[in-house]
Amino acid sequence: VKRLRLPSGSCNEELVNEVDALIALDHPAIVRLIEYFVADSEVLLVMELLQGPSLGEKLREQGRFPEAFAVRCLRHMLKALFCCHCHGIAHNDVSEENFRFETCHADAVLRMVDFGLSEMSVQESTLARHEHVPRGLYVQKRDIWSVGAILYQMLAGARLLPEEGSCWPEATNPSYVPVRLSTLDASDQAMDLLSKMLEPTTARRITAQEALQHPLVVRSYGFTE
């Protein structure tokens, strides 16, 4: 059971509609949301129980991942986001703690276990308008940037950005990412995908579907949906 405190002035009806949409999601890379209960100041989410560690815990335990394992994890994250984005749901708070392995087995599926349920702030909406990008697409592309930052962390054994919780494109100097990538020991295909996911301009950034069709993912797993 997960407890979410409702912000003051929030609309319960909007939250219920959003949670209903999450319950309708049915994908092996997304934890199943079974039921929910709305109280005066919080909502209780009853979710499927997973036995494995979070991706964040795995990273803290193991540090840098072999590229093949990192791409395997990436594929599961992208599949979860692709499903959400196809249903008009953008996460808006993607981090390594939002994904958990189904079991402790080496071949366990990595699944999305947490959802960004809050609305975008005025600042984020302003940024979306400034880039002339529809608000929903802006947040979806922000999700992709965050997953790109997680891919970097899996390959490098260190965060892309020094401050935890600041993994958003608008929080990053555009010249910072190329400098970080230049020191990364990874394959040419991994570097190419990273550059597309961490593209600073929203409109030019790759989508979840395009990332799943990238040669790195297709070559490793043959996933072409």
The tens digit of pLDDT for each residue in 86-141 reads 888 888 788 999 999 999 998 999 999 876 554 333 334 444 444 544 556 778 89
Domains of the chain: 50-221 (1.10.510.10)
Is residue 160 within 8 Å of residue 154, measured between CB atoms?
no
The tens digit of pLDDT for each residue in 71-91 reads 999 999 999 999 988 888 888
Output the furthest CA–CA distance in the chain (Å, rounded): 52
Cα(203)–Cα(183) distance, integer angstroms: 26
- Its pTM stands at 0.82
> Assign residue 55 a region: left if phi > 0, alpha if psi is -120 to 50, beta otherwise?
alpha
Helix (H, G, I), strand (E, B) or coil at 4: strand
